[in-house]
Structure 1
Amino acid sequence: MANALMRLFRRGPRWERVAGPRATAVLGKTPGQVYREQPALRAVVGFLARNVAATPIKVYERRGDNDRPRDVASQLALLLTRPNASVTTYELVRATVSDILIYGWALWYVVPNADMESGWEATRVPPEWVTQPYTKDGFEPSSWLLQVPQAGRAPVRIQAADCVRFALYDPSDPISPASPVEALKLVLAEQISAYDYRNKVWRNGGLVNRWISRDREASWSPGARERFAKDWKERFSGADATDTGGTPLLEDGMQLHDAQLNARDAEWAQATTLAREDVAAVYGVNPSMVWHNDTQTYASARDNARALYAETLTPYFDLIQERVNHQLMDLLGMDATRHYAEFDLQSKLQASPEDLLPTLVSATGRPVLLTDEARAILNRPALGGAAAELATPLNLLLGDEMAQATDAGAPGEASRAAPAKSKGWSAKSHQRADAAGAALLTSTLTRFWDRQSKKVLPAIDSAKSRGRLAKADGDPDWWDAERWDRELSADLRPIMLELTRHSGRATLRDVGMDPDGYDSDRTVSYLKAMCDGRAKALNASMLRQLLASLDVDPEEADEDVAKDSPRGVYDKAKSSGAARAGLTLATTAAVWGCKEAIGQRVPASEFERRKTWVHAGSGEANPRDEHLAMDGETVGYDEPFSNGAHWPHDDSLTAEDTYGCQCEVEISIYRR
Structure 2
Amino acid sequence: MAFWHRWTKHHPEGRVIDQDGVPVLAKAAEQFGDLAELGAHLTASGIRVVDPGVPLSNYTGTAAAMRVWETQPSVRKVVDYIARALCSIPWHVYERVSDTDRRRVTDHPLALLLANPAPAVTPSRLWHSVIVDWLIHDRWCIQVLPSADTASGWELRRKPARRMHVLADDDDQPAYLYLISSRGPAEKVPLPGPYLFDHGYATVGADGTSPMETMQQMLAEQAEAVEYRRSVWKNGARVPVVIERPADAPPWSKTAKDRFLAGFNAFIGRSRSAGGTPLLEDGMRLAPVEAFKPVDTQDIEGRRLTDTEVASFYHIPPELVGAREGNFSNLDAFRQMLYTHSVGPDITMLQDVINTMLVPILAPGSDLYVEANVEAKLRGSFTEQASILQTATGAPYMVRSEARSKLNLPYLPGTEELVTPLNVLVGGLASPTDTAPPPSLPKGQGRPA
Provide the C-alpha distance between the structure 1 equivalents of 2:188 and 2:61, rounded to a whole number of angstroms.
30
Cα–Cα, structure 1 residues 40 and 21, in superposed 2: closer, same or farther, change >3 Å? farther
Tell me which amino acid in the other structure corresponds to 1:298: F
| 1:358 matched to 2:387 | yes
Aligned counterpart for 1:49 among listed residues 83, 89, 93: 83
Asked if residue 93 in structure 1 is aligned to residue 127 in structure 2, the reply is: yes
The 3-state SS of whatever aligns with 2:97 is: coil
Please tell me whether residue 138 in structure 1 is matched to residue 171 in structure 2.
Answer: yes
- Mapped partners of 2:263, 2:307: distance in 1: 48
Retained in 2: the 8 A contact 1:370–1:390? yes
> What secondary structure does 1:62 align onto?
strand
CA contact (8 A) 1:162 1:331 kept: no
Q: Which amino acid aligns with 1:322?
A: D
Q: Secondary structure at the match of 2:141?
A: strand
| SS across alignment from 2:397 | coil
Give 1:301's aligned amino acid: L
Q: 1:162 aligns with which of 167, 177, 193?
A: 193
Correspondences of 1:129-278 after superposition (within 5 Å): 129-130=163-164, 133-135=167-169, 138=171, 140-148=173-181, 150-151=182-183, 153-170=184-201, 172-173=203-204, 175-196=206-227, 198-199=229-230, 207-209=236-238, 216=246, 262-278=293-309
Measured after TM superposition, the shift of residue 256 of structure 1 is 9.3
Q: CA deviation at 1:289?
A: 0.6
User: Identical aligned pairs, as a percentage?
Assistant: 28
Does structure 1 retain, via aligned residues, the 8 Å contact 2:236–2:269?
no
Which of these residues, 420, 427, 436, is aligned with residue 392 of structure 1? 420
Q: Which amino acid aligns with 2:206?
A: I
- The 3-state SS of whatever aligns with 1:271 is helix
Distance 1:277 1:26 in 2: 27
Q: For 1:52-100, what per-residue CA distance to the aligned partner results, in whole angstroms no more than 9, with x for missing partners?
A: 1111112223334554343222121122122222422112211121111
The one-letter code sitting in structure 1 at the alignment partner of 2:357 is: Q
One-letter code aligned to 2:336: R
One-letter identity of the residue aligned with 1:269: I
Q: Distance in 1 between matches of 2:145 and 2:217?
A: 40
Amino acid paired to 1:378: L
Q: What secondary structure sits across from 1:269 in the alignment? A: helix
CA distance in 2 between partners of 1:56 and 1:175 (Å): 29
> Distance in 1 between the 2:263 and 2:56 partners?
65
Contact 2:167 2:205 (C-alpha < 8 Å) held by counterparts: no
Question: Following TM superposition, by how much is the alpha carbon of 1:108 offset from its aligned partner in structure 2, in angstroms?
Answer: 1.3
User: Does residue 379 in structure 1 map to residue 422 in structure 2?
Assistant: no
2:65 matched to 1:31?
A: yes
Q: Hey, what's the Cα distance between the residues in 2 that align with 1:239 and 1:139?
A: 61
Compute the displacement of 1:298 (Å): 2.0
Distance 1:95 1:240, change over 3 A: closer
Larger Rg: 1
Q: Distance in 2 between matches of 1:179 and 1:245?
A: 45
User: Of 318, 328, 345, which aligns to 2:374?
Assistant: 345
Matching residue of 2:331: 301
Q: Is the Cα contact below 8 Å between 1:18 and 1:132 reproduced in 2?
A: no
Residues 312-363 of structure 1 show CA distances to partners (whole Å, capped at 9, x for unaligned) of 22212211122111211112243342x1212222322346323333232333
Alpha-carbon distance between aligned partners in 2 of 1:128 and 1:169, rounded to the nearest angstrom: 15
1:37 Cα shift? 1.4
- What SS does structure 2 have at the residue aligned with 1:157? strand
CA deviation profile, 1:124-152 (whole Å, cap 9, x unmatched) = 111221256254x735323222222x43x
User: Aligned with 1:58: secondary structure?
Assistant: strand
In structure 2, C-alpha distance between the alignment counterparts of 1:234 and 1:134, rounded to whole Å: 62
Q: Which amino acid aligns with 1:266?
A: T
- Matched residues in 1 for 2:62 and 2:353: separation? 33
Is the contact between residue 139 and residue 175 of structure 1 (CA under 8 Å) also seen in structure 2? yes
Q: 1:172 to 1:96 in 2, by over 3 A?
A: same
Q: 1:240/1:349 Cα in 2 relative to 1: closer, same or farther (>3 Å)?
A: closer
1:123 aligned counterpart, secondary structure: strand
**Unpaired segments of 5 or more residues in structure 1?**
1-15, 403-672
Judging changes above 3 Å, is the alpha-carbon distance between structure 1 residues 90 and 250 closer, same or farther for their aligned structure 2 residues?
same
Among candidates 159, 164, 167, match of residue 125 of structure 1 = 159
- Shift of the 91–22 alpha-carbon distance from structure 1 to 2, 3 Å rule, reads farther
Distance across 2 between alignment mates of 1:38 and 1:302: 28
Matched residue SS, 1:178: coil
Which one-letter code corresponds to 1:82 in the other structure? N
- Corresponding position of 1:315: 345
**Counterpart amino acid of residue 368 in structure 1:** Y
Q: Displacement of 1:173 after TM fit?
A: 4.9
- Counterpart CA distance in 2 for 1:142 and 1:25 is 20
> CA separation in 2, counterparts of 1:201 and 1:247?
18
Q: More helix per residue: 1 or 2?
A: 1
Structure 2 residue runs without a partner (length 5+): 1-49, 431-449
Residue 286 in structure 1 maps to residue 320 in structure 2: no
Aligned residue in 1 for 2:115: 81
Q: Give the drift of 1:277.
A: 1.7
> For the residues of structure 2 that align with 1:134 and 1:171, how far apart are their CA atoms?
11
Q: Secondary structure at the match of 2:208?
A: coil
1:107 is the counterpart of 2:126: no
CA shift at 1:47, angstroms?
A: 0.7
Residue 302 of structure 1 aligns to a residue whose secondary structure is helix
- After superposition, give the CA deviation of every residue in 1:3-39 in whole Å (9 maximum; x if it has no partner): xxxxxxxxxxxxx955756967899952122122111
Aligned 8 A contact 1:113 1:119 in 2: yes
Answer yes or no: is the 8 Å Cα contact 1:111–1:122 preserved in 2: yes
Paired residue secondary structure (2:192): helix
In 1, the alpha carbon distance for the partners of 2:207 and 2:247 equals 74
Which amino acid is 2:321 matched to? Answer: V
What's the offset of the Cα at 1:376? 2.2
Question: SS in structure 2 opposite 1:52?
Answer: helix
Query: What is the Cα deviation at residue 176 of structure 1?
Result: 2.7
- Count matched residues: 374
CA distance in structure 1 between the partners assigned to 2:354 and 2:168 by the alignment: 22
TM-score (norm 1): 0.47
For the residues of structure 1 that align with 2:307 and 2:266, how far apart are their CA atoms?
A: 46
* CA–CA separation in structure 2 for the residues paired with 1:88 and 1:234: 54
Compared CA separation, residues 216 and 163, structure 1 to 2 (3 A): same
Q: Evaluate the alpha carbon distance shift between residue 141 and residue 19 of structure 1 in structure 2; reply closer, same or farther with a 3 A threshold.
A: farther
Query: Which moves more between the two structures, 358-367 or 31-40?
Result: 358-367
Give 1:40 shift: 1.0
Contact 1:138/1:175, CA 8 A, preserved across alignment: no
Q: Kindly report which structure 2 residues correspond to 1:533-572, keeping only aligned pairs within 5 A, or say none.
A: none
Q: How does 1:7-22 map to 2 (within 5 A)?
A: none
Cα 1:49–1:21 change in 2 (3 A) is farther
In the aligned structure 2, how far is the partner of 1:257 from the partner of 1:384? 86
Write the distance in 2 (CA, Å) between the matches of 1:122 and 1:399: 52
Alpha-carbon distance change, 118 to 368 in structure 1, aligned in 2, over 3 angstroms: same
Q: TM-score, normalised by structure 2?
A: 0.68
Amino acid at match of 1:74: H
Q: Distance in 2 between matches of 1:275 and 1:235?
A: 35
Give the superposed CA RMSD: 4.4
